[in-house]
Amino acid sequence: MIRPSSKAAPDTVFELRRYRLKPGQRDSLITLFDAEFVETQEAAGMSVIGQFRDRAQPDQFVWLRGFADHIERNAALPRFYGGPVWAEHGPAANATMIDSDDVLMLKPVGATPAFADLPPRPAGAFADTGRLILQATHHLPPDLPEEGARRAAAAVAALAQAAGTIVLASFISDHSPNGFPRLPVRAEANAVVTVVRPPSGRFDAVAERLKAASADVPILSVEIAGLMPTARSRLR
C-alpha cells in the first residue's frame, strides 16, 4: 500500500535515469509516466524532480528523482515497485523500453540543497515555456578520489556561472552500495553532473564553455544534453 510521504529534509541522494526506448515510443511513455508515476512515487517517499525529452536523442527519455537519504531510498523503492501502481502500469512502461540501466547515483556538492527553488507541482500541467535545461556530465578517471571530484565539480560550476547560467544542481557520483539491486546503477561511473538553466538563446554557447572544462580538470569525456521538460516536470 502506498502511503503519503513524510519527507521534510532536503534530498541527499539522487538518480539521473536515461532510458533508451523503442522507436516512436517516447510520447507513449511520457503520457503514462506523467499520468501514473509522479504523485504515486512521491507518496512512496521520493521526489520526482523532472522528466524530459532529450532534444538530440528522439528515442531517449531522461528523468531525475531524489531521496532524503539512503535509508529512505532503500525503503521507498520496494514500496513503489512492489505496490499496486507499478503492478498495474509497469508492464506497459517496460514495453516501451530497450534499456533502462543507464542510471547514475549522485550526491550534491556543497551546502546548498540541489533544486532548492523549484516550484511545487500544480494539479494540472505547466504551460510549456520552450526553454531547455542543460545537463552536463563530465566523466572522471575511475581512481580519482572524492576530493578531486569535488574540485572538478566546483570548477565546472564556476564555468557555468561565468557563462551567465543559473546552476540548479551540482553533483558527484555517489559510490554507496545500491540498496535496491533490482534497479541497477552504473557503479563503475565516476562523474560530475551539472544541471543549469542557460539564458535564452545561449544554450550552444554555454555548452561549448562547459566542454572546455576538460582543459582545467581531469576529464575523460564530456556529454551535454538539451533537456525539454514534459508538461508535468517540476524542473523546467
Domains detected in the chain: 13-116+127-229 (3.30.70.100)
Distance of CA 149 to the CA centre of its chain: 18
> Across residues 144-155, what is the average pLDDT?
96
C-alpha grid cell for residue 19?
Answer: 532510458
Q: For residue range 174-204, what is the model confidence (pLDDT) as tens digits?
A: 999 999 999 999 999 999 999 999 999 999 9
C-alpha closest to that of 118 among 73, 70, 64, 164: 64
> Across residues 163-175, what is the average pLDDT?
96
Do residues 13 and 107 make contact, with C-beta atoms less than 8 angstroms apart?
A: yes
In angstroms, rounded to a whole number, what is the distance separating the alpha carbons of residues 192 and 222?
A: 10
β-partners of residue 57 are 54
- At residue 1, the pLDDT reads 34
Q: For residue range 101-117, what is the model confidence (pLDDT) as tens digits?
A: 999 999 999 888 999 88
Q: For residue range 73-86, what is the model confidence (pLDDT) as tens digits?
A: 999 999 999 999 99
- At residue 19, the pLDDT reads 98
Please, what is the average pLDDT of the chain?
Answer: 93
The yes-or-no verdict on residue 5 having pLDDT over 70 is: no
Q: How confident is the model at residue 121 (pLDDT cuts 50, 70, 90)?
A: confident
Q: How confident is the model at residue 8 (pLDDT cuts 50, 70, 90)?
A: low
In angstroms, rounded to a whole number, what is the distance separating the alpha carbons of residues 172 and 209?
A: 19
> Across residues 32-54, what is the average pLDDT?
97
Do residues 234 and 121 make contact, with C-beta atoms less than 8 angstroms apart?
A: yes
Q: Which helix (H) or strand (E) holds 206?
A: helix 203-211
Residue 108, CA distances (Å) to 30, 76, 88, 177, 204 in order: 27, 20, 34, 17, 25
Residue 65, CA distances (Å) to 159, 164, 200 in order: 25, 26, 26
Q: What's the pTM value of the predicted model, to 2 decimals? A: 0.94
C-alpha grid cell for residue 45?
Answer: 517517499
> Across residues 142-163, what is the average pLDDT?
95
Do residues 136 and 224 make contact, with C-beta atoms less than 8 angstroms apart?
A: yes
Distance of CA 121 to the CA centre of its chain: 17
- At residue 213, the pLDDT reads 74
Q: How confident is the model at residue 4 (pLDDT cuts 50, 70, 90)?
A: very low
In angstroms, rounded to a whole number, what is the distance separating the alpha carbons of residues 63 and 61?
A: 7
The yes-or-no verdict on residue 2 having pLDDT over 50 is: no
- At residue 79, the pLDDT reads 98
